[in-house]
Structure 1
Amino acid sequence: MFAAYLKRGVKAGLVAGLVFGLFMALVANPLVAYADELNHAGADHTHADGADGHDSAVSTAVNKAVSVVSSGLWAVLLGGVFFGIAFYFLEPVVPGTGATKSYVLGGAGFVTVSGAPWLVLPPVAPGAEQSLPASTRLLLYGGMMVAGALVCLLSGGVYNRVRESNGPLLAVVAGLAPFALLAVPTFVAPTNTVQGSLSPTLRAGLIGLFVFGQLLLWTLLATLHARFRPADGEGAMTAAESLSTAD
């Protein structure tokens, strides 16, 4: 049943959200805070009044708490949408068997939500100035998400078709070919020039940390989804099986 798929996805999202929230609290947020301090190092920070420092500390603490909570909720949302709803409808066409399907879906989720959009709008360090307005960047990001999702669906379809007649090895090669189509929107999209005051080393480190965080999140979701897979014979019917049963 649909509820069983959604419960499994949300459960994976809850556990992944807890781990990802800790990662944000203990690793990402302190480094981002340090980068913010460097960005404002040249600005005039005169706190003649002790209350100003207290207000600033409270504001910083609230921002960190909101960041951690929102990261956890984001993981729950991804777990429910991708590993619950999407998996319910797409499980029959997701390549692989058993736990492999969870990892394939996790890779497709990363490409859709992060990988494809980054081809046009790579991650930027805190405080960086971007040439494209926020509205344009939002449209580009959303468009590349759609492109990433379509390419992943096409890849799965090609893999399944080729595997039936030519075996898994050639099917993997054929299934990777559709990802080359993402070069088209990447080539025609406007360039987003980024300027910042951070050193190249720190900027690269922060961007690398952001990429690692997203890879960690999707790996956690896929691993937990595979871990929560019901035993053989105990799984719920997929959408396709439900329709065939109704017929």
Structure 2
Amino acid sequence: MATDHLERGALAGVAGGLVYGLFVATVGNAFTAGLEAFEHGHDHGGGPAVTELTTAAASVFGGVLWGLLFGVAVFGVAYYFLEPALPGTGATRRIALAAAGFLTVSGAPWLVLPPQPPGVEQALGTEARMLWYGGMMVAGAAVAVLAGLTYRRSAGRHGAVRAVAALAPLALLSAPVVLAPANPTHGHVPAALAAAYRWTVVFGQATLWATIAVVHARLGEPELTAADAGYPSTAD
């Protein structure tokens, strides 16, 4: 494994994680605090046990750790092996990889188990949720691979046709969504606030992946690619 790939992945991950951590520390934590205050107004609970500064610092640190993990694992290791097979060139390849990462880690699982705000209880048990989350991660990864293959198979077609071909496999995720067990939730949080919370989480995760991809592209191509290491090239 080329050290240069790991270093670039780590740098991009730290940058993306810092942006994500700051987003959580400001927007995310403020939203969560508001929801908790709303919930306490119904159950008369106590205030937070830690200071806002400590919570913010923990959010930034946690964001950096998540970014570092994704940066090294996806943009360091996975990019090293998959770079010749990724669609497009340069920044487009990073965006495609980031989209695949988001779909695998968050997007697909959230179709069955969307993020829930504080104070909301779910009918499904923890073990069942973990199994379904892991299964949807596998499904998301499979769909991402299939999307890349259909994109490459449509080489030479109009750009719009290739885009539709790449997005078409996403429809396959509707099958596990339909088959998933019902997971009704209970709590005092209004539906509108719960939806806003979910979209805030989605935006934060999308920002994390997008920032990693952009920074990784700005760092340029590593000196040694998988193609240079002897892997066959599958460029368009």
Structure-1-length-normalised TM-score: 0.86
Q: Is the 8 A contact 1:17 1:72 kept in 2?
A: yes
Q: Specify the structure having the higher radius of gyration (Cα).
A: 1
Name the residue aligned to 2:178. 187
**Equivalent-residue separation in structure 1 for 2:92 and 2:208 (angstroms):** 17
**Equivalent-residue separation in structure 1 for 2:199 and 2:45 (angstroms):** 30
Matched, 1:73 2:65: yes
Aligned length: 232
Change (3 A) 1:175 1:76: same
**Equivalent-residue separation in structure 2 for 1:45 and 1:159 (angstroms):** 53
Q: Is the 8 A contact 2:98 2:210 kept in 1?
A: yes
Q: Is the 8 A contact 1:99 1:229 kept in 2?
A: no
Q: Is the 8 A contact 1:159 1:175 kept in 2?
A: yes
Matched, 1:96 2:88: yes
- Percent identity among equivalent residues? 45
Superposed CA RMSD: 2.1
Structure 1 unaligned segments of length 5 or more: list them: 47-52
* Counterpart mapping for 1:101-112 below 5 A: 101-112=93-104
Structure-2-length-normalised TM-score: 0.89
CA offset at residue 168 of structure 1? 4.1
Give CA-to-partner distance per residue, 1:182-203, whole Å, 9 cap, x none.
1111111112111221123322
Matched, 1:241 2:199: no
CA offset at residue 17 of structure 1? 1.3
Aligned with residue 154 of structure 2, among 151, 159, 162: 162
The residue identity in structure 2 corresponding to 1:85 is: V
Give CA-to-partner distance per residue, 1:65-105, whole Å, 9 cap, x none.
33331122001111111111111111111110111101111
**Equivalent-residue separation in structure 2 for 1:63 and 1:118 (angstroms):** 25
The structure whose residues are more often helix, as a share, is 1
Structure 2 unaligned segments of length 5 or more: list them: none
**Equivalent-residue separation in structure 2 for 1:244 and 1:218 (angstroms):** 26
Matched, 1:85 2:77: yes
